[in-house]
Structures are given as C-alpha cells and as structure tokens.
Amino acid sequence: MSLISEDTDPSGSRAAARPAAAATPQPNRVTFNRLELNRILNLYGRMVADGEWRDYAIDFLKDRAVFSVFRRASEMPIYRIEKDPRLARKQGMYSVISPTGLILRRGHELERVLLVIDRKLSLV
C-alpha cells in the first residue's frame, strides 16, 4: 500500500512504492473523509478476501482525491475511485473510472457510485 501525493495523473503511475510525503495532507489538497475512506476500504477488504484485488494507492491532488485499485503491484489500476469537488453541483463529485479512462458511474453519493464494482452474492 502506498500513499502518493503528487500533482501528476494517477492513471499513468504504477503501483511501485514511492517515498511518501508528509502523512498529513496539506490544507490545499482534496482528501477523502473518514466515512468515505471507511466505505472504500470495506469494499477493498472484501475484494482482497475474494482474491480479485491485491494493492491500492491513494493520491491527494490539488483538485481531486484518487483511490486506485490494482490486481498486481506492477500493473495499471483496475479501477480509480475519484472525488472531485468541482463537479459536486453538476454530475456529482464521485466517479469510478476504468483502466481505459471510461467513466463507469458518476454521482453525488459514494454508496451508489461504488455499486458498479461492488458485486454482491445473489441467489438464483
């Protein structure tokens, strides 16, 4: 797990370990609050237990916060969960983005946005 706080595009970065900056974010950075991070990490824990995900990275940029999920540490992210407050009054500040850059779902509520990748067990 790595904490990366650079102003570069997180989709181009690998999951290789980098030296982390200060553990506390600067005030001019967008971050996930405790409830958002708890919901994302609960989903992450379930997917790790299923063997689908293995690594993650969190990026705190000036304009958005990004939680990237990796299948292997040497690959591109499978999903990026982004929080962009500039879109809060438009399409919603939360979005799930595929490796190709396609926005799978965008909305105002994190719970509903994460449903696109949160596969629950259903009885047939």
- Confidence at 72, pLDDT banded by 50, 70, 90: confident
What are the backbone angles phi and psi of residue 85, rounded to the nearest 5°? Answer: -60, -20
pTM: 0.72
Residues with Cβ within 8 Å of residue 117, at least 6 apart in sequence: 43, 79, 96, 104
Contact between residue 103 and residue 118 where contact means Cβ atoms under 8 Å apart: no
- Identity of the amino acid at 16: A
The arithmetic mean of pLDDT across residues 80-109, rounded, is: 89
CA distance 107 to 91: 6
88-102 pLDDT, tens digit per residue, is: 888 889 999 988 889
What's the mean pLDDT in 37-46?
91
